[in-house]
A and B are shown apart, each in its own frame.
Chain A
Amino acid sequence: MSSKLNNGGSVERYRNKEAQREQEAKRPVEEKMEAVVRLRDFERKLEVIRKANRAKRAAKQISIEFKTR
């Protein structure tokens, strides 16, 4: 599989996403606020999951089963 992979791909991808975000920053404020409200509602729904995830880590219940290196 490794022959198909490009180690630098992720860095390049995030650069492209950053350029895209710079464009999106020029959107109307109303449109941006809609996104903020949607995100805020989503984040509130995840509060319980975040708490459970912290507890799992405090109890050392997370492991990595598949290692590629």
Chain B
Amino acid sequence: MVRDRELDNYAIGGAIGAVFYIEPFATQDVDVFVMMDTEASGLVTKIPGWDYLKERGYTRHRGEAIVVEDWPVQFIPVSNPLEVEAYLNAEVLDFEGEPVRVVLAEHLVAIMLRTGRMKDLARAEMFFSQKAIDKNLLLDIVRRHKLDEEWLSFQAQKRI
């Protein structure tokens, strides 16, 4: 879609993004962060990529996701400065010869800290136990995006 200029750019986040850094865990959806304009009300007017895929025969939905080659793909408009930063700094990784933009491990963990569900925190813990994260970079993100409370709570649970 980037090649065809349907999207300016994208970055894979969520659980699938995490699999590029740490060992497996159960997940299914491919979360694709995209940048788009919204109306003054905050409503998203049109999600890029959706019509593009429909025109190419991908018409099956599962919840809010569109199914592409058996993978449920959800286009997620970046909705806060942390996600914008994650989107902008995504790194290009090579997957079987194809370049794939994936959110940095440090931003993935910061988003997990913000979301704060038990499974997010368990997943974040795996980044540390598998040495898949630069702690200084994460702490810089935590400080700038005011996630100090979430970070302290994470540490207090002796997760790292």
Contacts and interface: CB of A to CB of B under 8 A. Distances in A.
A62 B104 contact: yes
A58 B131 contact: yes
B156 to A, nearest CB: 20
Interface stretch (B2-10, B46-54, B83-91): B83-91
Contacts of B38: 4
Interface string B8-33: 00000000000111111011110000
Contact residues on A (Cβ < 8 Å of other chain), bracket: 35 or more
Given A20-B63, A69-B145, A39 B137 contact: no
B114 A66 contact: no
The 6 A-B residue pairs whose C-beta atoms are closest, nearest first, are A9-B79, A20-B63, A66-B88, A68-B81, A43-B24, A68-B85
Interface of A: 1-2, 4-7, 9-11, 13-14, 16-18, 20, 23-24, 34-36, 38-40, 42-43, 45-46, 49-50, 53-54, 57-58, 60, 62-69
Given A7-B80, A13-B76, A50-B132, 19 more contacts: A5-B81, A9-B80, A10-B80, A11-B115, A20-B64, A24-B62, A24-B63, A38-B70, A38-B71, A39-B27, A49-B95, A53-B21, A62-B91, A63-B137, A64-B140, A65-B88, A67-B144, A68-B88, A69-B144
